[in-house]
Chains A and B, each alone.
Chain A
Amino acid sequence: MSTAENATVEAGPEWGPLQWAGAVLAWLWVLVPLGYGLYQLLIKIPALFG
Chain B
Amino acid sequence: MAAGFLERERIIAPPGWSRWLIPPAALSIHLAIGQAYAWSVFKSPLEAGLGISGVASALPFTLGIIMLGVSAALFGTKVDANGPRWAMVVASTCFVSGFLISALGMYFSQYWLVVLGYGFVGGIGLGIGYISPVSTLIKWFPDRPGLATGIAIMGFGGGALIASPLTSQLLSAFGGSGKTPNVHGIALTFLVMGLIYAVFMSVGWLLIRVPPENWKPAGWDPSQARQGTLISRGNVSALNAIKTPQFWLLWVVLCFNVTAGIGILERANPIFIDFFSGTSPATTIAAAAVGFVSILSLANSLGRILWSSLSDYLGRKNMYRIYLGVGALLYLAVTLVTNTNRVVFLICAIFILSFYGAGFATAPAYLRDLFGTYQVGAIHGRLLTAWSTAGVLGPLIVNAIADERIAAGVQGPGRYTPAFMIMIGLLIIGFICNELIRPVNEKWHEPSAETASTAGANA
Chain B residues within an 8 Å CB radius of A4: 218
Size bracket of the A interface: 35 or more
Is B218 within 8 A of A5, CB to CB?
yes
Please name the residue on chain B nearest to A41 by beta carbon. Answer: B294
Is A12 within 8 A of B203, CB to CB?
no
Please name the residue on chain A nearest to B27 by beta carbon. Answer: A30
Chain A, 7-46, CB within 8 A of any chain B CB = 7-15, 23, 26-27, 29-30, 33-34, 36-38, 40-42, 44-46
Is A23 within 8 A of B14, CB to CB?
no
Distance of A4 Cα from B19 Cα, bound (Å): 11
Q: Which of A12, A26, A33, A49 contacts B16 (CB 8 A)?
A: A12
Q: Mark B13-36, 1 if CB is under 8 A from A, else 0.
A: 111111111001101100100000
Please name the residue on chain A nearest to B346 by beta carbon. Answer: A48
A41 to chain B: closest CB distance in Å? 5
- Which of the segments B92-100, B126-134, B155-163 contacts the partner chain? B155-163
Is B288 within 8 A of A48, CB to CB?
yes
Q: Mark B205-218, 1 if CB is under 8 A from A, else 0.
A: 00100011111011
Is B290 within 8 A of A33, CB to CB?
no
Interface centre among B13, B165, B292 (most CB of A within 10 A): B165
Q: Which of A15, A36, A47 contacts B290 (CB 8 A)?
A: A47
Is A8 within 8 A of B18, CB to CB?
no
Q: Which of A11, A29, A38 contacts B28 (CB 8 A)?
A: A29
Task: Tell yes or no: B448 within 8 A of A by CB.
Answer: no
Chain B, 141-174, CB within 8 A of any chain A CB = 155, 158, 160-165
Is B20 within 8 A of A1, CB to CB?
yes
Is B298 within 8 A of A47, CB to CB?
no
Chain B, 195-230, CB within 8 A of any chain A CB = 200, 203, 207, 211-215, 217-219
Q: Which of A5, A37, A47 contacts B291 (CB 8 A)?
A: A47
Is A29 within 8 A of B165, CB to CB?
no
Q: Which of B28, B214, B288, B295 contacts A30 (CB 8 A)?
A: B28
Chain B residues within an 8 Å CB radius of A44: 290-291, 294
Chain B contact surface mostly: helix
B68 to chain A: closest CB distance in Å? 21
Chain B residues within an 8 Å CB radius of A27: 24
Q: Which of B203, B214, B218 contacts A29 (CB 8 A)?
A: B203
Do A23 and B21 form a contact, CB below 8 Å, given A3-B16, A36-B162? yes
A8 to chain B: closest CB distance in Å? 5
Q: Which of A10, A30, A38 contacts B24 (CB 8 A)?
A: A30
Distance of A14 Cα from B160 Cα, bound (Å): 38
Is A34 within 8 A of B16, CB to CB?
no
Chain B, 204-263, CB within 8 A of any chain A CB = 207, 211-215, 217-219
Please name the residue on chain B nearest to A4 by beta carbon. Answer: B218
Is B155 within 8 A of A45, CB to CB?
no
Is B24 within 8 A of A3, CB to CB?
no
B19 to chain A: closest CB distance in Å? 5
Task: Tell yes or no: B453 within 8 A of A by CB.
Answer: no
B233 to chain A: closest CB distance in Å? 22
Is A34 within 8 A of B21, CB to CB?
no
Distance of A48 Cα from B160 Cα, bound (Å): 20
Task: Tell yes or no: B341 within 8 A of A by CB.
Answer: no
Chain B residues within an 8 Å CB radius of A15: 16, 18
Is B158 within 8 A of A37, CB to CB?
yes
Chain B residues within an 8 Å CB radius of A29: 24, 28, 200, 203
Chain A residues within an 8 Å CB radius of B298: 38, 41-42, 45
B331 to chain A: closest CB distance in Å? 20
Distance of A42 Cα from B295 Cα, bound (Å): 8
Q: Which of B15, B213, B290 contacts A12 (CB 8 A)?
A: B15
Is A7 within 8 A of B164, CB to CB?
no
Q: Which of B18, B163, B297 contacts A3 (CB 8 A)?
A: B18
Q: List 19 A-B contacts (CB under 8 A).
A: A4-B218, A6-B18, A7-B218, A8-B15, A9-B212, A23-B21, A26-B21, A26-B24, A30-B203, A33-B31, A33-B162, A34-B31, A36-B162, A37-B160, A37-B163, A41-B298, A44-B294, A48-B295, A49-B288
3 closest residue pairs by CB, A with B: A12-B16, A37-B161, A48-B291
